[in-house]
Structure 1
Amino acid sequence: MVTKMNSGTKAVLTAPLSLEGEESGSKDRAPNIIQRLLSLLSNLRSGSDLTRLQLPPLFNIPKSQLQCYGEAIYCINSNMLSKCNHGENSIDRFLCVVAWSISTVRPLSFGLAPYNPILGETHHVSRGTLNVLLEQVSHHPPVTVLHATDEIEKIDMLWCHSPVPKFCGSHIETEVQGKRQLKLLDKNETYTMNSPKLVIRFLPFPGVDWLGNVRIQCQETGLEAELNYRGNSFLPRPSVHRSIKGRIFRSSTSKTIYEINGHWDRTVMAKDVSTGKTTIIYNAKEALSGLKTPFVKDPKAISQSESTVIWSEVSQAILETNWDKAREVKTCIEERQREVARERKSIEEDWTPKHFTVPHRNEGGWDCLPNHKSVPPAPIVSL
């Protein structure tokens, strides 16, 4: 979806990541994508950090990582986030938070990745009364902050993510450092959680999996969840592929209340250990099938730092499979970013984020705080 602004610039929005993992512009890629990707990584050693690797457009989906983070929140069919605040008791609300956390995991196609956001890039979208704002607050290392508020549902969310991809020979493993924080303001409950690892495997079978352990905690209620995301290691096994296994328990006693089992791309169930009753808490098909592309409601209000504006020409070229044009424009954006960084360094000027304050930063993690209590309605709208 292309929207032209009065300034002559345009915004290009593409279909959200779907349950089937069929991203816009991914259908016409070269059949030897595995060979090309391995050739690109051939000079790297196992354990190498890939955060500075610039992918050719052939390996890009037509959207930035900022948009992918945002879509995980505002692109969904059911209003799972609001349900978190409507549970009758703390256990009901915790189950809803677990289900919502699972819904933020989306499929990706092998060999394709979003653009690396440039410093200061933003993304601002609204869905109903939920307003979502993201900003790239650091380029090296890459750090993205997301703030989302819903003043009607009394919800406040803050993410601070720093993906660290490493080449491991037969696969690429990306650890998403940082935490996700969800606050239910009128319940005075804060939920903290982490993200599973993204693993891109070349051998023996190419594929993309979300793997590892996720922990969800609420100090106010004393409830915790341990979730283990599993995938195929060698031979394909439908029972293991994209599966989740875990439990919900009380922190004080470690006593299991619910057992969690299922598949994040199908259904996930919770079993009450005291009664034996099993309930479906998440249905991926209902939540993530047929997602609609967001659209520009107010072109005049879009910022020049908006992700869909910055990458518009690259995205348009990818959609048209014009790889020469895509490479030319992408290179210009990346070179301009390097030039601005050199200018800033020459005058010893520190870059300051527009929407967030970064009081603490180191290799162990970043702390980021929003400059404003709530996020305003956005010029881009998701249905």
Structure 2
Amino acid sequence: MGSKDQAGGAASSGGGFFSSFAAGVRSWGTAVHKSVNGLLGYEGLEVINPDGGTDDAEEEALRGRWKQEDRDSYWKMMHKYIGSDVTSLVTLPVIIFEPMTMLQKMAELMEYCELLDKADESEDPCMRMAYASAWAVSVYFAYQRTWKPFNPILGETYEMVNHQGITFLAEQVSHHPPMGVAHCENEHFTYDITSKLKTKFLGNSLEVYPVGRTRVTLKKSGVVLDLVPPPTKVNNLIFGRTWVDSPGEMVMTNLTTGDKAVLYFQPCGWFGAGRYEVDGYVYSAEEEPKIMITGKWNTFMSCQPCDQEGEPIPGTELKEIWRIAPTPQNDKYQYTHFAHKINSFDTAPKKLLPSDSRLRPDRYALEKGDMSKSGAEKSRLEEQQRAEKRTREAKGEQFTPRWFNLTDVVAPTPWGELEIYEYNGKYTEHRAAIDGSSVGDETDVTSIKFNPWQYGNSSSS
């Protein structure tokens, strides 16, 4: 595509001096890389500072959230998994966790859902795609956090209301492999996703492949949009400053008309070169570029009409269509204001389901800063989940999600096939009955005991 070609051309241009300088930097970097990891006793582990600066490489290698003894112990435990999918293989320490679950992380895509409202209201089909693709990019600011969310318990849910008129529901429908499903709706759109992550552990980094299917239906026009995001790489998991990058193409396709938005996420280069940059085009069904899109996934996105060569049309202006909202300063987990709303009960509906992520005792203890209790509760929940599985197998039963149904559809993705779940509508009926009730709910939601269990507390015995 055009943006990738332009990026490649920029990288290869410059001639003799730049090429010599780049080669020198690479040689110097290789030498530092080998000396630092050789000093630590771990060969082949990448240590870089993506934000540049003049930090000493050895000092950078020793920086991070780990104490020396914790890091060494964790490395001894993890090195045998190099090359493996560790999505659900390993019990991880809470020191690397944030007080949020993967179901809540799925809900973060709704922070700037007003962009989907604008897409629905737009009469221009190309601008419709520009707004929708900017919405898809907007979540990457939140996804750059380096803390790991909790894996949801099978049957766990997350509900969210009181944001842009939406009702959001997610449910964990599989434990091995981990799969979450979500449905969201307001007056302008419906959003449905079946999500299954596939990982590859590389020693000091982790590649994450989003094996999932995302569908957005815009209600006014009736068009259906399909999203394929790029993979993500978490760098310096154990040694050095942890950072996240998502190099590659994001493709959003209008399945109704054939229009398409293709955006290229630039990989982070030496000293942070190219990090955050996103460029691409909205193409017509005839594959002609119509709108140029450019920006940075951590700051803003803009667009401008273009000609068939991908060049801006004279007399038109670059229009900003999304900008990041102000964020809290020095937040421990780099949370946005919206992330804090996701964790709060302010966005919880009346009579919250007892399976809701907010109620998890390990998540709540970590949020309150009690890491010891969080670790103990996490172990207890994981053991109870294993007990549930033993009970289910003894009864010869299968887990059945409450709010979503498994379909016969198996969808291809760039990283493997995916079984598709669909929203069954029962939650809409459940919520309507509660919201229509004249009886007030005076229950203190923080006192509700977390209960996603299929067999109740007997499974823990």
TM-score over 0.5 (shorter chain): yes
- Secondary structure (helix, strand or coil) at the match of 1:178 reads strand
Q: 2:294 aligns with which of 261, 264, 272?
A: 261
Q: 2:345 aligns with which of 296, 305, 324?
A: 296
Structure 2 vs 1, CA of residues 230 and 35 (structure 1 numbering), >3 Å: closer, same or farther? farther
Residue 384 of structure 2 corresponds to: 336
CA distance in 1, matches of 2:289, 2:240: 37
**Equivalent residues of 2:290, 2:305 under 8 A apart:** yes
Map Cα deviations across residues 20-52 of structure 1 (whole Å, 9 max, x no partner): xxxxxxxx9555586665444222232444332
Map Cα deviations across residues 51-91 of structure 1 (whole Å, 9 max, x no partner): 32221111110111101111221x34x72231121112212
CA distance in 2, matches of 1:65, 1:210: 18
Question: Quick check: 53-62 or 32-41, which moved more?
Answer: 32-41
Structure 2 vs 1, CA of residues 37 and 215 (structure 1 numbering), >3 Å: closer, same or farther? farther
Structure with the bigger percentage of strand: 1
CA distance in 2, matches of 1:358, 1:184: 24
CA distance in 2, matches of 1:289, 1:316: 18
Residue 198 of structure 2 corresponds to: 164
Q: Letter of the 2:372 partner, please give it.
A: D
Q: Does 1:180 align with 2:228?
A: no
**Equivalent residues of 1:51, 1:165 under 8 A apart:** no
Instruction: Report the CA distance between 1:220 and its aligned residue.
Output: 2.4
Written as runs of structure 1 = structure 2, the 5 A alignment for 1:86-97 is 86-97=121-132
**Equivalent residues of 2:130, 2:261 under 8 A apart:** no
Q: Letter of the 1:339 partner, please give it.
A: A
Instruction: Report the CA distance between 1:104 and its aligned residue.
Output: 2.5
Residue 244 of structure 2 corresponds to: 208
- Secondary structure (helix, strand or coil) at the match of 1:302 reads coil
- Secondary structure (helix, strand or coil) at the match of 1:244 reads strand
Residue 121 of structure 1 corresponds to: 156
Q: Letter of the 1:145 partner, please give it.
A: V
Residue 4 of structure 2 corresponds to: none
**Equivalent residues of 1:64, 1:307 under 8 A apart:** yes
Q: Does 1:198 align with 2:251?
A: no
Structure with the bigger percentage of helix: 2
Q: Letter of the 1:327 partner, please give it.
A: G
Q: Does 1:372 align with 2:425?
A: yes
**Equivalent residues of 1:247, 1:258 under 8 A apart:** yes
Residue 413 of structure 2 corresponds to: none
Instruction: Determine which structure has more spread, i.e. the larger CA radius of gyration.
Output: 2
Structure 2 vs 1, CA of residues 123 and 359 (structure 1 numbering), >3 Å: closer, same or farther? same
Q: Letter of the 1:358 partner, please give it.
A: L
Q: Does 1:305 align with 2:355?
A: yes
Map Cα deviations across residues 322-349 of structure 1 (whole Å, 9 max, x no partner): 3221111110000000000011011210
Q: Letter of the 1:369 partner, please give it.
A: E
Structure 2 vs 1, CA of residues 304 and 325 (structure 1 numbering), >3 Å: closer, same or farther? same
Residue 39 of structure 2 corresponds to: none
Using the aligned pairs only, state the percent identity.
21
CA distance in 2, matches of 1:315, 1:219: 39
State the TM-score, normalized to the length of structure 2: 0.68
CA distance in 2, matches of 1:373, 1:261: 41
Q: 1:130 aligns with which of 166, 190, 198?
A: 166
Residue 80 of structure 1 corresponds to: 115
Q: Does 1:99 align with 2:134?
A: yes
CA distance in 2, matches of 1:70, 1:359: 23
Q: What do you get for the CA RMSD once the two structures are aligned? A: 2.8
Q: Letter of the 1:67 partner, please give it.
A: Q
Residue 63 of structure 1 corresponds to: 100
Q: Which has the higher contact order (CA 8 A, sep 6+)?
A: 1
CA distance in 1, matches of 2:128, 2:85: 41
Residue 81 of structure 2 corresponds to: 44
Q: Does 1:272 align with 2:309?
A: no
CA distance in 2, matches of 1:307, 1:35: 32
Residues matched between the structures, number? 343
Query: Structure 2: where are the runs of 5+ without partners?
Result: 1-63, 308-312, 328-334, 411-415, 436-440, 446-461
- Secondary structure (helix, strand or coil) at the match of 1:364 reads strand
Instruction: Report the CA distance between 1:196 and its aligned residue.
Output: 2.2
Question: Quick check: 81-90 or 63-72, which moved more?
Answer: 81-90
CA distance in 2, matches of 1:289, 1:205: 21
Q: Letter of the 2:345 partner, please give it.
A: V
Written as runs of structure 1 = structure 2, the 5 A alignment for 1:320-335 is 320-335=368-383
**Equivalent residues of 1:213, 1:227 under 8 A apart:** yes
CA distance in 2, matches of 1:315, 1:139: 18
Instruction: Report the CA distance between 1:102 and its aligned residue.
Output: 1.0
- Secondary structure (helix, strand or coil) at the match of 2:83 reads coil
**Equivalent residues of 1:145, 1:368 under 8 A apart:** yes
Instruction: Report the CA distance between 1:270 and its aligned residue.
Output: 1.8
Q: Letter of the 1:283 partner, please give it.
A: R
Residue 147 of structure 1 corresponds to: 183
**Equivalent residues of 2:126, 2:290 under 8 A apart:** no
